[in-house]
Amino acid sequence: MNNIIVSLGFEKSRDLYFKLKHDYKALKSKESGNNYMNFILCAFHLSEWLDGDSSLSGETKDMAKALLEENNIELFKDIANGRKHYILTINGKVITKDEFISEFNYNMFDYSKINFGKPLFKVVQDDKEIGLFEECEKIYNVYKDIFEKDDNFKKLKAR
């Protein structure tokens, strides 16, 4: 299995991070179900790759794990593994799973849901509605701090 991964150009977690960076740019360019899944799957599996990466110190791995947990990597794990279905409800009525809110929908009658810009993807986790892009952005920034900071976590330790 490892030989297959290496032949694809992915040997260390840093290599997978560059794929995540590509997926994040694609997601920022166009929010779509495919772009979300590419980012979420890569982000979750990158969290697993960190453990087996001998180029990272134990301290870095521990800090990364803690920061990813603080920033809701559990949501990505659940989506990547298909363990939960995130359901959007309005007034207790199930509307859809992993709702895609279009630019405008007259049938919703909940003006807090109106979005006059780009499409908005939301999920409900622990009875709380959250924007999926914001969750992706938080996780991406954790990885960016791990792989693109010269002092590798000095900034994060100060938090």
List the chain domain ranges.
Answer: 12-151
Tell me, what's the pLDDT at 81?
Answer: 82
Tell me, what's the pLDDT at 141?
Answer: 96
Tell me, what's the pLDDT at 157?
Answer: 43
Tell me, what's the pLDDT at 6?
Answer: 64
* Distance (Å) of CA 5 to CA 17, 19, 30, 46: 14, 13, 28, 13
Reported pTM: 0.72
Tell me, what's the pLDDT at 104?
Answer: 47
Radius of gyration (C-alpha) of the chain in whole angstroms = 18
Burial of 81 (0-12, 13-18, 19+ CB in 10 A): exposed
In the structure encoding, which two tokens stand for residue 75, read together? 């949501």
Tell me, what's the pLDDT at 17?
Answer: 96
User: Which residues in the chain land under pLDDT 50?
Assistant: 1, 88-96, 101, 104-105, 108-109, 111, 154-159
Tell me, what's the pLDDT at 88?
Answer: 44
